[in-house]
Structure 1
Amino acid sequence: MKRTLFNTSALAISGLMMAVLVAGCSMKPAYERPDSTAPAAWPEQTAASQNPGVGVSISVLDWQDFVLDMELRQLVDNALEHNHDLREAVLNIEAARAQYRIQRSDRLPGIDGQAGSTSQRIPASLNGTGDSSNVTTYQVGLGVTAYELDLFGRVRDLSEAALESYFATEEAARATKISLIAGVIQAYISRAGAQERHDLTKQTFETRQVSLDIISKQRKVGSTSDLDYLEAKGLAEQAQADLEVAARELAQTDNGLALLTGVPVEQLPKPKGTDNRIIQEQLAPGLPSELLTRRPDILAAEHRLIASNANIGAARAAFYPRITLTGSFGTASGDLADLFSSGSTAWQFMPQLNLPIFNYGSNKANLNLNKVRNEISIVQYEKAIESAFREVADALVDRETFAREENARKALAESSSHSLQLSEARYRHGVDSHLRYLDAQRRDFTNQLGLIQTRTQRQIALVNLFRALGGGWDPSHTEPVASVD
């Protein structure tokens, strides 16, 4: 009897382990990457399209190599350590990784230790002895509860969908990191431009105040007209108003940079001039097709597409029978003292077949829903690609046109500065009127402001190009944000 019981229990356990090794076929559609609408080259109006290899390639350029200013590097480091958006993105990765682990665990049976007792009263009418009795049973053992044999790949497809969702979340975190790096650099450059505009406006205000004082004295002795005085007063008041605008913009850029980096405003480094070389300016855009393997948002969209494709397989498998196994192996006895004695071995094996017959069309509706979601994922993937190409093309145009505009404005500013010097000399010697001198001041101030603004915009355009090309991290020498295991 013991031999028969042992052989039967061993057979049950062996059958359970064989079921674990059953490899189900997946019913998901074969995944094919949607046809790319990537152009063969960048727009012809950009010089980069004619020489895509000129400059430093983004594929080997980490953000530390892109940022040349050491103080800016430190600010970026602070942002990567303290920024709330990036911390939230990393926590989202942890959540997605945990979700994948939960889903992956369903592919293997869970074995639990079990211990318990059962007490029941059997009435006399149901007892063979004709007397009522109280029965208590004690049990200890190992058990497997409702493990599904993945014959049609449902569990595997759900696990793959969770894994791809995890990958998509990780790519989204990388995109957040790149955007944060670009945001800090742009805030730093904007702050430098705001500081230059503030300094220029303050200098202009002080100069016009001096001119107003001189005109006021001349007016008292009758050597100048009221019109000259009013013109000088108007320019001084305009300069004071411009100074308040510049001060407001400078304070706002200070606050913006402090928020991104977590560094108090009073501890921020003193802004450098926009004519300093803060960032790497020679960037090679490479070929348009390289964006498909470099841009985190495109990679995230494709991972979501693969996940939706796997969910179709899981929805299809719901139409087919599901076999679940429940079993246990251990010892049982009516007396706690005899629980581990010879002959107390007990086992239980309960396979269950579930065949959907009538469920009001819920399985069909769920399949249709997952097919529609897959189509939505395809549209989102194609949209991500088109948006990426548009951003790069715009950034390339901005880089080139702002560079040419800066050269033109630099020449214009030099010309107006020289003109102002001549006009001032002619006014001092009585050759030109005061109105002409004031007009030269207005033109020079406007041209100098225009040069600062264009120089700032050109550097911001370079940062936009860096971000649009997927720069900021290099998989060959950068640790992943999180690991699956």
Structure 2
Amino acid sequence: MTYHHSFQLIVRGTVLALSVALAGCSLAPTYERPTAPIPSAWEGDVTDGPSRPLAEAPLDWQRFIVSDRLRDIVALALAHNRNLRQAVSNMEAARAQYGVQRADRLPAIGLAGSMTRQRTPADVSPAGTQVTGNVFQANVAASAFELDLFGRVRNLSEAAFEEYLATAHGVRNVQLNLIYDVANAYLMQSSAQQRNALTLRTLAAREESLQLFTLRERSGTASALDYQEAVGLVEQARAEQERTAREVAQARNALTLLTGMQPGAAVDLTDDVGPLFADVDAGLPSSLLEWRPDVLAAESRLRGRNASIGAARAAFFPNISLTGAFGSSSTELSNLFSSGSGAWQFMPQISLPIFSGGRNVAGLDLATARRDEAVAAYEGTVQNAFTEVADALAARRTLAKEVQARAALAASTAETLRLSKIRYEAGIDGQLQYLDAQRRSFADQLSLIEVRTQERLAVANLYKSIGGGGGSEGDLSAAASPPG
């Protein structure tokens, strides 16, 4: 057999082995998405008609956030937030792990050179004399390549890929929660600054009234009770001013933490009362399965557990591996690549499990139990997603009406306060009615600011609950594309 003919046989055998391996069957169960344990429509949706599917993916966050100021802060957070960086690093680790596992589906081919010097005693030498010899070798070798006839390696690779996808969806989930957290901190700071400004105005008005009560109490036209009521209202406003100042500082610190940046100049958000977000549509509950990153991550993990069953089943069947080498061999280094020095080696190996102490059975039971656990986790994630959207829809619907009622109430008590002041100064009503009108008007103004903040935050919460939209960051937008 010629040197060239031997090389052709090895190449053909390798190609045939690869073809058989790539065409191998898979013992993994056929994947079927579990039936979502949720109703087919939202109860009490804000829309007049029935729920409908989304025509396209929910808004990208740049289109959802219409405030330039808030959009800039969110962009800072996406660029510098440490939790998001950690999630991206975890995704890259899963991506690399998938690459390692995927490499097992192809033979590892390398160059190898060796030199062996051996002494053979005379009593075991065929020539009857002591022999000392050298062997020089240079080979292209493939070592222990497994023919994946039963899909073990392919299913392990599939499980690693699904785990990578789960971490990629996890990155988008962290991103989505970060956008919501920034919006929440931003609204909390705006609300605290508005309440602080209202409190300062109220405190100034009450201190002016206290001076009047002090003069009247000294002149005997006002009782000590009236005076103490006025003092109480001033101290109440002063305590509220300190509380809101504290909340402003804490909200600013929260934004600093979320953006990952050192605190800069204080930002006044008292005038930021216009729209911050575009309106969003919840669509049908089934859309959660397409856009919620946590649901997608749970399903990817379920697919991976399903593939792991196939790998566990393959352990019961024969394992065939190939080791081969092709190159040159000579007793003299100078003749290593001379004509006639060609050498090759082909070593197929098959192993069939007979007794393993129940290891393979336990491995299959473990893979099945983990698949069942993943099914329960997926169903629980879907149910949690449905509840979050239903709560967000209820909040958006009821808060809009509550804002209207609170605004009307605040306007009414403000008018009551104006009239009460006129009647008090005219001597028609006593001080207690006027002080009570001050107290009620201040409380209603605070409640109006808070409920307006909750209404705006409800829109952001709905956006997060339905899965948001795709990010624009280069690393994140490419996260779900398979490597290699």
TM-score band (shorter)? over 0.9
Match of residue 403 from structure 1: 400
User: What is the correspondence of 1:11-410 to structure 2 with a 5 Å cutoff?
Assistant: 11-22=9-20, 23-43=23-43, 45-48=44-47, 50-52=49-51, 59-267=57-265, 269-273=267-271, 275-280=273-278, 282-410=279-407
- The question of whether the paired residues in 2 share the 8 Å contact of 1:327 and 1:347 is answered with yes
2:423 to 419, 426, 438: 426
Q: Give the letter for the 2:248 counterpart.
A: L
Matched, 1:455 2:452: yes
Find the aligned partners of 2:129 and 2:336 in 1 and give their Cα distance: 26
What is the CA distance between 1:474 and its match in structure 2? Answer: 7.2
| Partner SS for 1:266 | coil
Query: RMSD over aligned Cα, in angstroms?
Result: 2.0
- The question of whether the paired residues in 1 share the 8 Å contact of 2:470 and 2:477 is answered with no
| Partner SS for 2:345 | strand
Find the aligned partners of 1:161 and 1:107 in 2 and give their Cα distance: 13
Find the aligned partners of 2:362 and 2:377 in 1 and give their Cα distance: 22
Q: Give the letter for the 2:214 counterpart.
A: S
Find the aligned partners of 1:15 and 1:170 in 2 and give their Cα distance: 39
Larger deviation, residues 266-275 vs 236-245? 266-275
Q: Give the letter for the 1:312 counterpart.
A: I
Q: CA 1:482–1:379 in 2, change beyond 3 Å: closer, same or farther?
A: closer
Number of positions where the alignment pairs a residue of Structure 1 with one of Structure 2? 479
Q: Give the letter for the 2:361 counterpart.
A: K
Find the aligned partners of 1:160 and 1:343 in 2 and give their Cα distance: 45
Deviation per CA, 1:83-111: give whole Å up to 9, x if none: 11111111112111111111111111110
Find the aligned partners of 1:445 and 1:193 in 2 and give their Cα distance: 15
Tell me the percent identity.
46
| Partner SS for 1:276 | coil
Find the aligned partners of 1:96 and 1:314 in 2 and give their Cα distance: 19
- The question of whether the paired residues in 2 share the 8 Å contact of 1:193 and 1:274 is answered with no
Structure 2: which 5+ runs fail to align?
none
Q: Give the letter for the 1:321 counterpart.
A: P
What is the CA distance between 1:11 and its match in structure 2? Answer: 1.8
| Partner SS for 2:322 | strand
| Partner SS for 2:91 | helix
Q: CA 1:131–1:272 in 2, change beyond 3 Å: closer, same or farther?
A: farther
Matched, 1:439 2:436: yes
Deviation per CA, 1:262-305: give whole Å up to 9, x if none: 3443335421446311112x322111111111111111111111
Q: Give the letter for the 2:184 counterpart.
A: Q
The TM-score with structure 2 as length reference comes to 0.95
The TM-score with structure 1 as length reference comes to 0.94
| Partner SS for 2:459 | helix
What is the CA distance between 1:4 and its match in structure 2? Answer: 4.1
What is the CA distance between 1:49 and its match in structure 2? Answer: 6.8
Find the aligned partners of 1:122 and 1:271 in 2 and give their Cα distance: 91
Find the aligned partners of 1:387 and 1:76 in 2 and give their Cα distance: 26
- The question of whether the paired residues in 1 share the 8 Å contact of 2:192 and 2:248 is answered with yes
| Partner SS for 2:146 | strand
Structure 1: which 5+ runs fail to align?
none
Deviation per CA, 1:411-447: give whole Å up to 9, x if none: 0000000000111111111111111111111000100
